[in-house]
Chain A
Amino acid sequence: MSLTKETFSQISPSEFFYRNRDLAGFSNPTRSLYTSVREFVENALDACDQKKILPDIHLSIKAVDPEQPDPKPYILSVKDNGPGIEPKHVPLAFGTVLYGSKFGLKQARGMFGLGATMAILYGQITTNKPVIVKSCADGKTQDEFVMLLDIQKNKPVIQKHTTKEASKTGLVVSIVLEGDYSKAGTKIRDYVSQTSLITPYASITFEDPSGEKFHFPRIVKEMPPPPTIIKPHPHGIDVETIRRMIVDTHYQIPIVDNNMIIKVRSELGLQKKNLNSKGIMERAQKKWSGLSRPVRTVVAMMSFLNLDFDGLSKIRIDDLDIANKKLVYWNFGESKSHVVELDSESPYYKQLANTVQGDTLHAFLTKRFQRVGPTTADKFCEFAKFKSEKRIGSMTNEELVKLADALQKFEEFLSPDPSCLAPLGEEPLSKGIMKFFNPEFASVIQRSASAYSGFPFVVEMGVAYGGDIPPAGLKVYRFANRIPLLYDEGSDVVLKIVNEMDWSRYKIKGDPPLVIVSHICSTRIPYKTVGKENVADRPEIERELKNALQYLARKLAVHMSRQGMADMAKKRANLYSKYIPLIAQFVTELSANKKEPNYKQLIKKGSELEEQQI
């Protein structure tokens, strides 16, 4: 057992990722170039978002030798106007795997900042060129690092470090990597343009290998409110999650080692003095109000064990079983386990029980979950048939299952706090869509927050119809946490919902000039694959998507019927003057007449009829 563990720990995280690079989207030169662009651009946007800076992103891809055929080495560089990174953190941030500031329960584009390091790693493996990082965090000096990654040791190797004066904060990262732009180009251009759609507050410039510049200007000047870090929502919490929450809620039995004994001695003022068990107890009672919680617990245990400090150093506390009122310990000297009965009448018993059993259910609910106040907690306890003063540490397995079950079923919890999410908002989304597609009609909706498996999410959706959109059938733009999803479209939940829709009910037929923009925000998007390209079909997410789509389709249908009526009126206007002459022409030949009949009178009658009807 311990041998196996040893072997594993000898592989550094860098090495692990290096060996499993396919999983992270670095399977071939085409995909790797695209993934690298994504990782750097997303890091730059996340950095700006966190500091509420309107992003200015410059992306450039240049071939090292343009004459060489693909796949070949490319220089990829991304520049932002974000907060930069303090010079001392740069080597670790870019030179090791698993270093990042993005831990915590809130929405961000990437999860742990792994992707950028993967891209650097991939570049180094394929071209053996160092990464160049230029960072300015204070707005005065820019530090430039040229470095390589020591894959086995998971350590940066700095080749060069220079500084110079600068006037603005920001970060520039350039790597050299083997890529295939001829194949990846379309996807990269799509990625950049769609990113500008879902990030309308950013200005993005992309210079491709041929030197052509694509500029996507900022459409809105206001940034959506930044996400905050929050507690979990009771819906969708499972037994395992509760168990973990309880473990770090209730006060552990302190480990009684030498350090703890020194602490107890010092709090009792007995650093040097040795008292017998009874003496220690007397001293403790006098000083009780000034004792820390762990010391109180140790003293309480000593009271049942009848031990002095010397005796205490020779045992190990194994279990404190409040339910059966038993204390189990191991005596090193005797190499033997002992069981002590606990007297529930003793004043120390309560101290132990409180410590081990943790908070009351009521306190646990209000302290550890979002959106649960004292009233809701009371109602819940009644609903779940638990006493609100029940200690969560004393719950049996069956009771925990019952609790988890009730947490999911109780319907009076408020919907999850979406403050940890950063949806774009209806107005910026609508402006982005108008600017991007220039449609004749557009509508957007932001659904209220919902949760799946304890993770809150928000669905935002928009439709655009007509105008500059070509009549080439319905097209879906998918986004998750402000990232465009371009690959694996077929198996995505959004596509599924869109395809299941009966569009004819909403007056949409044939190949409509119709675009749907779907944005799912969550603290955790349930991706189907590690490549993060398609969202799995969770019933809660499906329901929100469906509701959003139906709402928008109804809006569209209203527009379509208005449009239809206007078209109809226009068509009717000339109906008689169009058809009567045709009829005249046909029957003249049919009846073997030479001259057409005089139908002027009839057309006049017809236009009178039209006027009456319109």
Chain B
Amino acid sequence: MNLKNNKSKTAKTAEARKGKLLSTLKNQGLTIYNDLENGKFPQFSIPSRSVSNIVYDKKLRQYILGNSSAVRSARNMSQLRSYTQLSWLAFFVNRLVKEGKSSTLRDIYYSSQAFEIDFEDQPESDNIIVDLEALLSFPREDFHIFPEERSSVFGDLTIEYTVPGYEGRRVNLSDHPDGYLIGPSLSSAELIDTSAELVIAIEKGGLFTRFVEEKVHKKFKAIIVDTAGQAPRSTRSLLKRLNTELGLPVVILADGDVYGEHIAMVIKSGSANAAHLRELTVPDAKWLGVWATDIEKYKLPTIPMTESDIKRIYDLQKDPRYQEGNWKTQLEVFLKIKRKAELEAFSKYGLTNITDKYLPEKLELSKSF
């Protein structure tokens, strides 16, 4: 892959997004400012996030919000408080982004108290953050607001930081054998150069380490991403950028159960919780396994499903994305065998069985679907 040519196109993407966000914020500010000046009650029109307004878009291949929206007005006495909270958050995010500082969801809850904005509890402030995401159509990571959970990435990828104090500094993500945390600085970094031809997202930290030890990144020319269970949004955002900015295909390895299957699905086509956001999905991502059919094929040791596992299968069978193809087939097989296998199950046949045998076979197979 010729990255030299790509660079001019991809570089400064992060910078551009930041500029777009700041101007959107400023426009919102100006509108409200003028309303106040003219003795008019300002209002926000926020896309509704109620269940009835969440629909699956087959063309975009992800969940999106429908057309209905809710008006939050400063005129309405019962909305005045949350209106003020939302305008405070816009103001605070503007500062965060301009000053290049990051904060956590919890930080936001506490920061509000310095401005006489009283959130009753953190869920209330978290909710206002989602409102702002929906209003501006930017994910909170762009606001420099991050959840506590972190996942990691390893591989031959050079990035250039944009966070204050590190601007312009470059780092190669194969320099540290434990990998790099996908945190605020990595999320806002520019992707510069890579020799990789593939991204492997894997559900578990233990196997992530095994893959590094077994030099999977070299053998398969891969960037390895540990999703640490259900992939956090910053991780999904990175996978999306690796896919679109660097043109790398993404494959997913997760436990052989209904949750593993859904981890792959969320990376591919998003979650209902984040239906108000785009840019978080990798529609071409491929689910390598572990499939229900692999359990039999590779004679993996299994454990029985719990009742909640089975209930989850029934739930997912109602989801429009599970109505056809391999996704549907695998759910049916899971339901039939009522047993599951973890990624570690391959260790029965030796610690390197998964990297030496299973992974190459599945990668070969994936070319055909």
Contacts and interface: CB of A to CB of B under 8 A. Distances in A.
Contacts of B75: 609
Nearest to B76: A609
Given A589-B94, A601-B39, A583 B25 contact: no
A590 B39 contact: no
Contacts of A598: 36-37
A353 B83 CA distance: 94
B80 A576 contact: yes
Interface string B24-38: 011011101110110
B94 A575 contact: no
Nearest to A586: B91
Given A575-B80, A576-B80, A586-B91, 20 more contacts: A582-B84, A582-B88, A582-B117, A583-B32, A583-B83, A583-B87, A584-B36, A586-B29, A587-B30, A589-B29, A589-B91, A589-B94, A590-B87, A591-B30, A591-B33, A597-B36, A602-B39, A605-B39, A605-B41, A609-B75
A283 B324 CA distance: 116
Contact of B32 (A575, A587, A610): A587
Contacts of A575: 77, 80-81
A583 B33 CA distance: 9
B90 interface: yes
A601 B88 CA distance: 21
B29 A583 contact: no
B121 to A, nearest CB: 12
A602 B41 contact: yes
A121 to B, nearest CB: 59
Contacts of B115: 582, 586
B213 to A, nearest CB: 50
Nearest to B25: A590
Contacts of B29: 586-587, 589-592
B116 interface: yes
30 contacts: A575-B81, A579-B81, A579-B84, A582-B84, A582-B88, A583-B36, A583-B74, A583-B83, A583-B87, A586-B88, A587-B30, A587-B32, A587-B87, A587-B91, A588-B33, A590-B25, A590-B26, A590-B28, A590-B90, A590-B91, A590-B94, A591-B32, A597-B34, A599-B39, A601-B39, A602-B39, A602-B41, A609-B75, A609-B77, A610-B77
Interface string A262-293: 00000000000000000000000000000000
Interface of A: 572, 575-576, 579-580, 582-584, 586-593, 597-599, 601-602, 605, 609-610, 613
A84 B95 CA distance: 84
Nearest to A589: B91
Contact of B84 (A583, A590, A591, A593): A583
A613 B80 CA distance: 15
Contact of B36 (A589, A592, A599, A610): A599
A589 B115 CA distance: 14
Most buried by A among B77, B81, B83: B77
Nearest to A591: B29
A583 B77 contact: no
A587 B29 CA distance: 5
B205 interface: no
Given A575-B77, A583-B84, A593 B36 contact: no
A605 B75 CA distance: 9
A579 B39 CA distance: 15
B42 interface: yes
A589 B29 CA distance: 8
Nearest to B36: A597
A394 to B, nearest CB: 64
B88 A602 contact: no
A593 B90 CA distance: 15
Contacts of A587: 29-30, 32-33, 36, 87, 91
A591 B34 CA distance: 10
B38 to A, nearest CB: 8
A215 B3 CA distance: 91
A247 to B, nearest CB: 62
Contact of B90 (A586, A602, A605, A609): A586
B80 A593 contact: no
Nearest to A592: B26
Contact of A586 (B34, B81, B87): B87
* Chain B contact residues, majority secondary structure: helix
Interface string B16-29: 00000000011011
A579 B88 contact: no
Contacts of A601: 39
Interface string B271-292: 0000000000000000000000
Closest 8 CB pairs of A and B: A590-B29, A591-B29, A601-B39, A586-B91, A597-B37, A597-B36, A591-B30, A587-B32
B32 A613 contact: no
Nearest to A600: B39
A259 B169 CA distance: 124
Nearest to B95: A589
A572 B78 CA distance: 9
A579 B74 contact: yes
Contacts of B32: 583, 587, 590-591
Given A587-B91, A588-B33, A579 B41 contact: no
A599 B83 CA distance: 16
Contacts of B116: 582
Given A575-B77, A582-B116, A583-B42, A597 B88 contact: no
B224 to A, nearest CB: 41
A579 B75 CA distance: 11
B289 to A, nearest CB: 48
Given A582-B115, A589-B94, A590-B25, A602 B77 contact: no
A426 to B, nearest CB: 39
Interface in B56-111: 74-75, 77, 80-81, 83-84, 87-88, 90-91, 94-95
A577 to B, nearest CB: 11
Contacts of A605: 39, 41
Contact of A613 (B26, B41, B77): B77
A598 B94 CA distance: 23
A580 B90 CA distance: 15
Given A575-B80, A586-B87, A586-B91, A580 B33 contact: no
Contacts of B30: 587, 591
A597 B33 contact: yes
A451 B90 CA distance: 67
A610 B75 CA distance: 10
Contacts of B94: 589-590
A588 B95 CA distance: 13
Contacts of A610: 77
B77 A593 contact: no
B88 A572 contact: no
A598 B36 CA distance: 7
A602 to B, nearest CB: 5
A100 B60 CA distance: 92
B77 to A, nearest CB: 6
Contacts of A602: 36, 39-41
Contacts of B81: 575, 579
Contacts of A572: 77
A593 B94 CA distance: 14
Contacts of B41: 602, 605
Most buried by A among B30, B88, B91, B115: B91
Contacts of B26: 590-592
Contact of B33 (A579, A582, A593): A593
Most buried by B among A580, A591, A593: A591
Nearest to A610: B77
A591 B33 CA distance: 7
Most buried by A among B33, B74, B115: B33
A599 B35 CA distance: 9
A598 B42 CA distance: 14
Contacts of B80: 575-576, 579
A587 B36 CA distance: 10
